Structure 1
């Protein structure tokens, strides 16, 4: 589904991502791990169009995305969440989500001025999409709560829901379990599995190794911006270079 070939990003004299190639299969969970500063977030930023690559190719279902704007990439079906979930704090949870499907609407300034039928129909669709996404992540009961009043774990779920309202093919989840407790981590991992079971493809960056090892179909390990290893969780656990650079012996299998 997603084919990345020799992706490179230079910032002046610093090479943050260096000649990385990987494929993400449709309906799978691919995890990207590595030490702090390994280039994981930059890698996500390149895929999602937040920054442009210095060289290399990023193809989604045969369509080249390298060089496109973030909104163009989102319309192709790539949704992105971030390490820190920033919401409109004084708006309700539902109103935060209604914004998401605007990516797929066509009404503009004059539709608003004249309150056209198209605007009314699109507003109805946006609300329906938001309600469906909220139900999917298990937060229908928090629809009318202010975003400022919900928990960190609930904000993570809202971020998932906001991504879903854009009708994505693939979700890029940047530290989806960051800042939540172990029990909440299990719940978010189950939600990620539910996303894949519903037909989505997931690529995530995460530091919680127990979660990654039980969740991922494939793991890409980055180190100093380069691909150190790629394989199944079992293969990564047994990779001496990965153990030395990142995992430590506690994650190696006997």
Structure 2
């Protein structure tokens, strides 16, 4: 689905991501791991077109998207969550999610001023998409609560729902289980499996190795901005370079 060729970005003399090539496989759970400062979030910023690479190419379903804006690549079906979930805390959960489908609408200022039929229809669709996304993540019961009053685990699920409301085909999840307890982490892992079972492709960054090893179909390992390994969880567990750089000998038997 997403092909990355020799991707590099330099900030001054520092190569934050250096000559990384990989493929995010369609219909699978792809994971990215590595020590703090390994370049994982920078890599996400590149493939979601927040940053422009110094060199290399990004191809989505055969189309070169390297130079596109973030909103353009989002319209092509790439959605993303962030380490810190930022919501409009003074608005309801449902109103937060209505924003998600706006990138699929065409109404402009004139439609708003004259309250056009197109505007009303698009608002109806946005609200419907928001309710469907809330139902998918099992949060329909908090639709009318203020976003500032919900739990951390619920905020994570709302972030998933917001991404789903954009009608994506590829979801980029940046440390989705951060700050969650073990039971909540298991629930989030099941939600990720559910998304893939409904036809989505997932790529996630995560530090919780037990979760990654039981969840991912394929793992990419970064260290100092470079790819040091790639393969199945079993292959990554047994890779000496990964054990030395990140997992440690205690994790070799996970």
1:52-75 per-residue CA deviation (whole Å, 9 max, x = no partner) reads 111101111001111110000100
Q: For 1:63 and 1:215, how far apart are their aligned partners in 2?
A: 29
Residue 99 of structure 2 aligns with which residue? 99
Structure 1, unmatched stretches of 5+, are none
Give SS of 1:123's match: helix
Give SS of 1:166's match: coil
**Map 1:61-80 → 2, pairs under 5 A:** 61-80=61-80
Q: For 2:65 and 2:8, how far apart are their aligned partners in 1?
A: 14
CA deviation after TM superposition for structure 1 residue 214, in Å: 0.1
CA deviation after TM superposition for structure 1 residue 50, in Å: 0.9
1:195-216 per-residue CA deviation (whole Å, 9 max, x = no partner) reads 0000000000000000000000
Residue 124 of structure 1 aligns with which residue? 124
Q: For 2:207 and 2:65, how far apart are their aligned partners in 1?
A: 27
Q: For 2:143 and 2:149, how far apart are their aligned partners in 1?
A: 12
1:30 correspondence with 2:39: no
Residue 17 of structure 1 aligns with which residue? 17
CA deviation after TM superposition for structure 1 residue 5, in Å: 0.5
Q: For 1:141 and 1:230, how far apart are their aligned partners in 2?
A: 41
Give SS of 1:99's match: helix
CA deviation after TM superposition for structure 1 residue 82, in Å: 0.1
Q: For 1:227 and 1:89, how far apart are their aligned partners in 2?
A: 38
Give SS of 2:202's match: strand
1:192-236 per-residue CA deviation (whole Å, 9 max, x = no partner) reads 000000000000000000000000000000000000100000000
Corresponding pairs, count: 254
CA deviation after TM superposition for structure 1 residue 238, in Å: 0.2
Structure 2, unmatched stretches of 5+, are none
Moved over 2 A (4+): none
Residue 222 of structure 1 aligns with which residue? 222
Residue 205 of structure 1 aligns with which residue? 205
Q: For 1:174 and 1:250, how far apart are their aligned partners in 2?
A: 25
Q: For 2:46 and 2:67, how far apart are their aligned partners in 1?
A: 9
**Map 1:163-178 → 2, pairs under 5 A:** 163-178=163-178
CA deviation after TM superposition for structure 1 residue 116, in Å: 0.1
CA deviation after TM superposition for structure 1 residue 91, in Å: 0.2
Q: For 1:16 and 1:24, how far apart are their aligned partners in 2?
A: 20
**Map 1:241-252 → 2, pairs under 5 A:** 241-252=241-252
CA deviation after TM superposition for structure 1 residue 253, in Å: 2.8
Q: For 1:57 and 1:65, how far apart are their aligned partners in 2?
A: 8
CA deviation after TM superposition for structure 1 residue 127, in Å: 0.2
1:145 correspondence with 2:136: no
Q: For 2:166 and 2:253, how far apart are their aligned partners in 1?
A: 40
